[in-house]
Amino acid sequence: MATFNLNINGNEQSVDVDPNTPLLWVLRDHLKLVGTKYGCGIAQCGTCTVHLDGVAVRACVMTVAAVGNQEITTIEGLSENGDHPVQKAWLEVDVPQCGYCQAGQIMTAAALLDKNPTPSDSEIEMAMNGNICRCGTYLRIKKAVQLAAEGTS
Amino acid sequence: MTLVKTKIGRRAFIKNTSLAGGGLVLGFSILNSCKPKDVVELAVREMPKEWFDINAYLKIGDNGLVTIMAPNPEFGQGVITSMPMIVADELDIAWKDVLVEQANFDAEAYGWQFTGGSQGIRRRWEGLRMAGATAKHMLKEAAAQTWQVPLAEIIASEGILSHEASQNSAGYGEMAAVAATLEVPEEVSLKEITDFTIIGTSKKSVENQKIITGKPLFGLDYQYDGALVAMVVHPPAFGLKLKSFEDAQARSMPGIVDVFKIKTLEDDMKRGFFDTNAFTDLVAIVGKTTWEVMNAKKEIRTEWEPITDSSFTMDRFGTEMKVDVPSGLENTSDHYVQMNEMAAKPGTTARKDGNPEAAFNKAAKVIERSYTCPFLAHNCMEPMNFFAHVTEEGAKLAGPLQAPALTESTVAARLGIPIENIDVELTRMGGGFGRRAYGHYAVEAALISQQANAPIQLVYSREDDMTFGIYRPSYQATYRAALDENNKLVAFHVKAGGVPETPLFANRFPAGAVDNYLAEQWEINSNITIGAFRAPRSNFMAGVEQAFLDEVAEAAGKDPIQFRLDLLQRAKENPVGERNDYDPDRLAGALKLVREKSNWSETSSGVHRGVSAYFCHNSYAAHVVDVVMNGNTPRVENVVCAVDCGIVINPDAAANMAEGAIIDGVGNAMYGVLSFKDGSPEQSNFDRYKIIRHNEAPKHIEVHFVKNEIDPTGLGEPPFPPVFGALANALYKATGRRYYNQPFATDKPPLIG
């Protein structure tokens, strides 16, 4: 066990855990930030996507020890009132079906637009390809990313 | 705008319930389950000081806000929005004044709370309308009494009651207190379809805001003070069972509280139809956090032993039957050999019209083709999980369930406690697709909580989820068609079977459209467990039947749509047999709409089109799939879909579901496979089990609904099965190869011609 001081959604949070604990379980079990989801545990499905210093990473394979001083952003901290352009676009397009993968999809999309505010269709597909949606909302996700891009560019 | 920030206290709760006619007090639960900030988010305007129960489905606040209960479990099909829309329309309340709550499981109040078989809206249509219309009637009656005017002269619209002659008017909230004390009318009139104001208009999901901000919604997010985490170890192969286990190392690990064996179903227990379970003996590990339990689970040393042939009694909704479970470690390669052997022998005749063999003997042309598909895993994005707190007083359960009534009765039987002492809270489900109708994981959670004497959250790893069983079966079908010298279809023969069940629908198209028709079936028993998977059996039969008809139409030299329409014309005007389960007019209607919307007659270079149409779950769906070649790789460019499911409640959400069904169909047709080696699934996570991804989804999908005034029927399933056929037919045009074996991405059919 070791103590880690994490910067999560702009707040300092301290946890006492095994250094090998994936960030996903620190968020969900220790900090009760359950918006970040468990899907596969092997970085194949993207439901656990969070930002480390603005870059989309898979929290299920990122150990808490590897986080260091990087700023962690989860879906709960993406915006103050759920009004990030990507979140607003998700509402506008009425993207979700079951909704379980959508936090991960939104986090991946937000990181993409931060880096590339005007992605092409194939750039969107490439960036989003690591995020599985079992309900098949892919076209609405793409439409929402395009809409968010129009709003931010 | 004034917002109420304080919580309603115990006194207000008692006051409300004493005023109300029973049921739940939502004002209490909404306000006390939320932090003050959430209340601000929830409130479209000032929250009511009091709620008045009108019936189990709705209550009206003193300020006119209405809370409507969504009775059925939600797994992405949108009933948490569409069902309240139906109530709200008949109530004549503005949608902006509606709050929605997921009802917990309460069979007395809500009847059959089941998600599956595309039956939700169809079965609740009348009841939900009645709930809204009854409430509106009682509000009118309250106004009539208050104003001393005839009830018939009162108009209700958008939450306002008015009486023209006396110039009286009042909001629903002002009349709710009186209305809640009135007798429920014995008769109530429902709206004319043309008078709907909410039904048929697109409303966004009422839970979107929570989804996009990461609020706890799903079973895995369930929060309960002091809850421990539990995981289970099940056998690595079908045909094995637990012999013994060694837990010393696991017990010594940090955070581990207990390790023990559970038995989900006793061997002599009569099982319900949804009690499917190959692995009833499990090792349970209980600890403080998920990661600690996951680590300890790896250190459990287990010894497995082969199962012997056995049987159990199943109560299939009142019909008792004996189910045999064979021993052995099965292999996918053997399954295909066995299925081919069965296909070569006569099957059990399910339907015979005319004299099929004579017609085949006389035929000018006979076409015969065989098709197969593998097992599939549901792979809901949220793995199986459940919360349970079992005490001497009873059991509190919470989690994702499609069939809470069935699961609750198994929990009661297994724990030996009265069903009324069990409380089931329904959480939003991260997908279902049929999988969560089989609630073994809730029983496991309850047993673990009972033994650990603690509230626990049972969590399946992805590997546990994918390898536990309850799969879409592997199927095989052989079709024969006979054409006469005029290329008329004169005989049709289907013989279908599977491991372990037959997929045949003997009375479905083209039965009824052909004079000489034979349907046969067979089954090969297995110890691999199966369960309902989005459009059970149809998800194979639709695709292969529609691919076969495409070949028959080609052999007959006919346009594939016209060929089907001609057969449907025959089925309508002069049907063969009396048990045909589809309406030829509605199936033809879907085909005609897709022909029109896809501009079927216009071809463009490099675009290869396939068509299909199918009836299942009381609805009709037709697709035109366009494939383009990207080098040697086919890619679905465009899909045009036409659906006849009667009245559509929430059109854009309905289109979303059809889009998802199409993407799911393309994905499973191209890539879906779960195979077995020595009883063990060869895919256990998304590294080896391929799910369709963004760049493989169709570029565009258009969804069109047949407009009619027929009471709504199913939508979750019907658009899914025909995708497999339309895709196979488009792939043929694109590649010159007919695809007979799913998944198509690994099928290597020969070039034709």
What would the CATH number be for the domain defined by B219-311+384-459?
3.30.365.10
Q: What is the pLDDT of residues B112-141, one digit of tens each?
A: 999 999 999 999 999 999 999 999 999 999
For residue B660, the model assigns a pLDDT of: 98
Q: What is the DSSP string of B715-731?
A: -SSTTSHHHHHHHHHHH
B641 Cα to chain A: minimum distance (Å): 15
pLDDT above 80: residue A98: yes
Q: Which two tokens stand for residue B316?
A: 């299939």
For residue B593, the model assigns a pLDDT of: 98
Q: What is the pLDDT of residues B304-319, one digit of tens each?
A: 999 999 999 999 888 9
Interface contact flag, A98 B382, Cβ < 8 Å = yes
For residue B396, the model assigns a pLDDT of: 98
Interface contact flag, B431 A98, Cβ < 8 Å = yes
What is the 3 state secondary structure string of B321-370?
A: EEEEECCCCCCHHHHHHHHHHHHHCCCEEEEEECCHHHHHHHCCEEEEEE
Find, in chain A, the residue whose alpha carbon is nearest to that of B459.
A38
Query: Looking at beta carbons, which residues of chain B come within 8 Å of A40?
Result: 462, 685-686
Q: Rounded to an integer, what distance in angstroms lies between the CA atom of residue B151 and that of residue B512?
A: 52
A74, A94, A135 member nearest B208 (Cβ): A94
Element (H, E) at B519: strand B516-523
Q: Say what angle helices B79-91 and B120-147 make with each other, to 10 degrees.
A: 30
The architecture in CATH of the region B10-205 reads 2-Layer Sandwich (3.30)
- Does domain B346-376+471-746 fall under CATH 3.20.20.100? My reply is no
Q: Which fold has domain A2-76?
A: Ubiquitin-like (UB roll) (3.10.20)
Contact yes or no for B645/B714 (Cβ under 8 A): yes
Interface contact flag, B382 A75, Cβ < 8 Å = no
Query: Looking at beta carbons, which residues of chain A come within 8 Å of B701?
Result: 139
| Count of positions (residues) in chain B | 753
Confidence class for position A153, pLDDT limits 50, 70, 90: low
Region B446-460: mean pLDDT is 98
Residue B12 DSSP SS3 = helix
**Phi, psi (degrees; rounded to nearest 5) at B260:** -160, 170
Q: Which two tokens stand for residue B750?
A: 């020969």
Query: Could you say which DSSP state residue B47 is in?
Result: P
Interface contact flag, A136 B697, Cβ < 8 Å = yes
Q: What is the pLDDT of residues A32-81, one digit of tens each?
A: 999 999 999 999 999 999 999 999 999 999 999 999 999 999 999 999 99
Interface contact flag, B205 A94, Cβ < 8 Å = yes
**Residue of A31, A94, A95, A101 to mutate, testing the B interface (most B Cβ within 10 Å of its Cβ):** A94
Q: Rounded to an integer, what distance in angstroms lies between the CA atom of residue B65 and that of residue B176?
A: 10
β-pairing verdict for A49-52 and B154-157: unpaired
Query: Looking at beta carbons, which residues of chain B come within 8 Å of A104?
Result: none
Q: Which two tokens stand for residue B177?
A: 């207190």
Nearest C-alpha neighbor of B140 from the set B90, B95, B97, B99: B90
For residue A152, the model assigns a pLDDT of: 67
Confidence class for position B374, pLDDT limits 50, 70, 90: very high
Residue that the structure tokens 């675009």 belong to: B607
Region B206-224: mean pLDDT is 97
Q: Which two tokens stand for residue B293?
A: 């339990």
Size of interface A-B (CB pairs under 8 A): 184
Query: Looking at beta carbons, which residues of chain B come within 8 Å of A36?
Result: 214
Query: Looking at beta carbons, which residues of chain A come within 8 Å of B656?
Result: 94, 97, 137, 140
Q: What angle do CA B629, B631, B633 make, to 5 degrees?
A: 60
Q: Any residues with CB less than 8 A from the CB of A106 and at least 6 apart, and which?
A: A75, A78, A84, A86, A87, A90, B212
Q: What is the pLDDT of residues B496-547, one digit of tens each?
A: 999 999 999 999 999 999 999 999 999 999 999 999 999 999 999 999 999 9
Confidence class for position B650, pLDDT limits 50, 70, 90: very high
Find, in chain B, the residue whose alpha carbon is nearest to that of A138.
B694
Query: Looking at beta carbons, which residues of chain B come within 8 Å of A130?
Result: 693
Residues linked to residue B517 through DSSP beta bridges, in sequence order: B353, B492
A151 Cα to chain B: minimum distance (Å): 18
Query: Could you say which DSSP state residue B218 is in?
Result: B
Q: Rounded to an integer, what distance in angstroms lies between the CA atom of residue B56 and that of residue B58?
A: 6
Q: Which two tokens stand for residue B199?
A: 């039904």
Residue that the structure tokens 């109300």 belong to: B20
A111 Cα to chain B: minimum distance (Å): 15
Find, in chain B, the residue whose alpha carbon is nearest to that of A85.
B212
A34, A45, A74 member nearest B216 (Cβ): A34
Q: What share of chain B is helix, strand, coil (3-state, %, to 5)?
A: 35, 25, 40
Q: Any residues with CB less than 8 A from the CB of B334 and at least 6 apart, and which?
A: none
pLDDT above 60: residue B2: no
Query: Could you say which DSSP state residue B751 is in?
Result: B
For residue A151, the model assigns a pLDDT of: 81
Query: Looking at beta carbons, which residues of chain B come within 8 Å of A28?
Result: 290
Q: Any residues with CB less than 8 A from the CB of A34 and at least 6 apart, and which?
A: A27, A28, B214, B216, B220, B221, B223
Nearest C-alpha neighbor of B459 from the set B253, B296, B294: B294
Q: Rounded to an integer, what distance in angstroms lies between the CA atom of residue B235 and that of residue B243?
A: 10
For residue B56, the model assigns a pLDDT of: 94
ipTM of the complex, rounded to two decimals? 0.98
**Phi, psi (degrees; rounded to nearest 5) at B69:** -85, 135
pLDDT above 60: residue B366: yes
Q: Any residues with CB less than 8 A from the CB of B372 and at least 6 apart, and which?
A: B336, B339, B474, B475, B476, B740, B741, B742
Q: What share of chain A is helix, strand, coil (3-state, %, to 5)?
A: 40, 20, 40
Q: Say what angle helices B560-573 and B584-597 make with each other, to 10 degrees.
A: 160
CA atoms within 13 A on the CB side of A79: 15
Interface contact flag, B664 A136, Cβ < 8 Å = yes
Q: Rounded to an integer, what distance in angstroms lies between the CA atom of residue B316 and that of residue B410?
A: 14
Residue A102 DSSP SS3 = helix
Find, in chain B, the residue whose alpha carbon is nearest to that of A91.
B208
For residue B45, the model assigns a pLDDT of: 58
Q: Rounded to an integer, what distance in angstroms lies between the CA atom of residue B210 and that of residue A53?
A: 25
Domain ranges of chain B: 10-205, 219-311+384-459, 346-376+471-746
- Does domain A85-152 fall under CATH 1.10.150.120? My reply is yes
CA atoms within 13 A on the CB side of B54: 35
Q: Rounded to an integer, what distance in angstroms lies between the CA atom of residue A40 and that of residue B686?
A: 7
For residue B752, the model assigns a pLDDT of: 83
Confidence class for position B742, pLDDT limits 50, 70, 90: very high
Does this chain's domain B10-205 share its CATH topology with B219-311+384-459? yes
Query: Could you say which DSSP state residue B749 is in?
Result: P
Radius of gyration of chain A (CA): 15
Q: Rounded to an integer, what distance in angstroms lies between the CA atom of residue A144 and that of residue B118?
A: 28
| Count of positions (residues) in chain A | 153
Does this chain's domain A2-76 share its CATH topology with A85-152? no
B214, B291, B380 member nearest A134 (Cβ): B380
Q: What is the pLDDT of residues B559-613, one digit of tens each?
A: 999 999 999 999 999 999 999 999 999 999 999 999 999 999 998 999 999 999 9
Find, in chain A, the residue whose alpha carbon is nearest to that of B656.
A137
Interface contact flag, B76 A106, Cβ < 8 Å = no
